[in-house]
Amino acid sequence: MKKTQLYDTHLTCNAKMVSFHGYEMPLQYDSIIDEHHCVRKNAGLFDISHMGRFAVSGDKAFQFIQQIITNDVGQLADKQVLYTPICNEQGGIIDDILVYKWHEKHFMLVVNCSNAEKDLSWLQKQAANYQPLEIRDLTDSVSLIALQGPQSINMLEVAFESKFDSIKRFYFDDYVWDGTRITISRTGYTGEDGFEIFVDSEQVVKLWNLLIGKNKQDGLRPIGLGARDTLRLEACLLLYGNDMDETITPLETTIGWTVKFDKGNFVGRESLLNQKTRGIDRKLVGFEMIDRGIPRQGYPVFKGNEIIGKVTSGSFSPSTNKNIGLSLIQSQYAKIGEEFQIQIRDNRYNAQIVKTPFYSRIKR
């Protein structure tokens, strides 16, 4: 089992640790619900060093990235971040990633922990026509922490004694801190304003302690994967392995907007275009429970006596005080207001399709 550099720090903070795709990660330090509200109302700090990070550089790095992703890296300015799926030839989602562009010849990809190995071999296979191209795994040498919540900008500024309001949403910049380069992006997986900070693994404990130390009196606290999941679900940010996998295409989910047919060729384009022309049979929708009961991944969804799909993610939602979920169902039923039943253990309970996201922050 792998440990991040912050493993001992988590134990000191009384974290309940769980095994997560090969890493020992903090599930919660205290109550998941309290941690959730802390991020929504104030700010929280996450260790997300388990996520995969690859640097991609070379003369044809831009063309390579453009070929493997469905979104359009051509629309990206330097120091901008792009959310995109990587698809296989059938249009199935291999992973959903963030692309960081320094310039046309140098990028970084942040990928799901569960897919990092698979992604690396896929990237290497696709790279053949774009040589010389270097794909370097930074996962161990660079750590990643996320500061999320409405107060995150203030807390970042207090910790570094510097202004960061020049970083706009989905942009990043490089800074020198304590003699090393750090990269800070205004990104996250909570539905709140927030930052993700890349730092040398040798320095991450020091940076973590600095952020917590300078902001503890203002309520900054560490947040575990438990609240990370409820936060992302409320914001309708999809989770690989739940809401997406290689048998599901982006067009069937809520991230169809990341497929840019106009940008030219890319892996999966033909299949996706066929699917679009033919019509989409299944659709990922957000729903809330009408009856009592908590939907969980894998529970069947019924319309009358017919199974029309299954739950891909579900939870109690602390911000709305409802039980919510995502389900992949037959498209004909994918309308807001449509009711269906979810089988929970031995009984079926009523639920209703609602608009997503379930929660959106107040834009300041």
Partner 1 sequence: MNIPNELLYTKTHEWVKKSTSKEVIMGITDFAQQQLKDIVFVELPSVGKELKMGTPCAVVESVKAAYDIYAPVSGKVLKINQKIQEKPQLVNEDPYGEGWFLHIEISNPNEFSSLLSPDQYRVASESEH
Binding interface with partner 1 (CB under 8 A):
27-28, 31-33, 226, 230, 292-294, 296, 315-316, 318, 323, 345
Whose Cβ is closer to partner 1: residue 79's or residue 310's? 310
The rounded radius of gyration (Å) of the Cα atoms in the chain is: 21
Q: Provide the minimum distance between the beta carbon of 292 and partner 1 in the complex, in angstroms, as a whole number.
A: 7
- Write down the least CB distance from residue 296 to partner 1, Å: 7
H or E element in which residue 100 lies: strand 93-103
Q: Residue 259's Cα: distance from chain center in Å? A: 17
Q: Taking the CB of residue 350, how many other CB atoms lie within 10 A of it?
A: 12
Nearer to partner 1, 41 or 303 (CB): 41
Angle at the Cα of 46 (from 237 to 49), degrees rounded to 5? 90
Give me the least distance between CB of 235 and partner 1, in Å please.
Answer: 16
In the complex, the smallest distance separating the C-beta of residue 114 from partner 1, rounded to whole angstroms, is 17
**Facing residues of 340 across strands?**
351
Q: How many CA atoms lie within 13 A of 53 on its CB side?
A: 21
- Residue 201 CB neighbour total at 10 angstroms: 17
Q: Which is nearer to partner 1, 188 or 314 (CB)?
A: 314
Q: Cα(251)–Cα(220) distance, rounded to whole angstroms?
A: 38
Peptide bond before residue 250 is cis, with ω within 30 degrees of 0: no
Three-state secondary-structure class, residue 169: coil
Distance CA 263, CA 135 (A): 24
Find the shortest distance in angstroms from Cβ 313 to partner 1: 12
Nearest approach, Cβ of 33 to partner 1 (angstroms)?
5
Give the Cβ contact number of residue 152 at 10 Å.
27
Tokens of 112: 């799901």
CB closer to partner 1 out of 92 and 224: 224
CB of 226 to partner 1, least distance (A): 6
Say if residue 357 is preceded by a cis peptide, omega within 30 of 0. Answer: yes
Q: How far is the CB of 315 from partner 1 (least distance, A)?
A: 6
Nearer to partner 1, 14 or 180 (CB): 14
Instruction: Give the whole-angstrom CA distance, residue 171 versus residue 100.
Output: 8
Q: What minimum distance in Å lies between the beta carbon of 257 and partner 1? A: 30
148/317 with CB nearer partner 1: 317
Q: Minimum CB separation from partner 1 for residue 282, in Å? A: 26
Give the 3-state secondary structure of residue 120: helix
* Segments in the chain forming alpha helices (H): 7-12, 32-41, 61-68, 116-126, 152-160, 204-215, 225-234, 269-278
For partner 1, the closer of residues 275 and 315 by Cβ is: 315
Contact 97, 111 (CB under 8 A): yes
Nearer to partner 1, 85 or 226 (CB): 226
Nearer to partner 1, 198 or 349 (CB): 349
Q: Which of 155, 154, 225, 144 is nearest to 190 (CA)?
A: 225
| Residue whose CB is less far from partner 1, 292 or 363 | 292
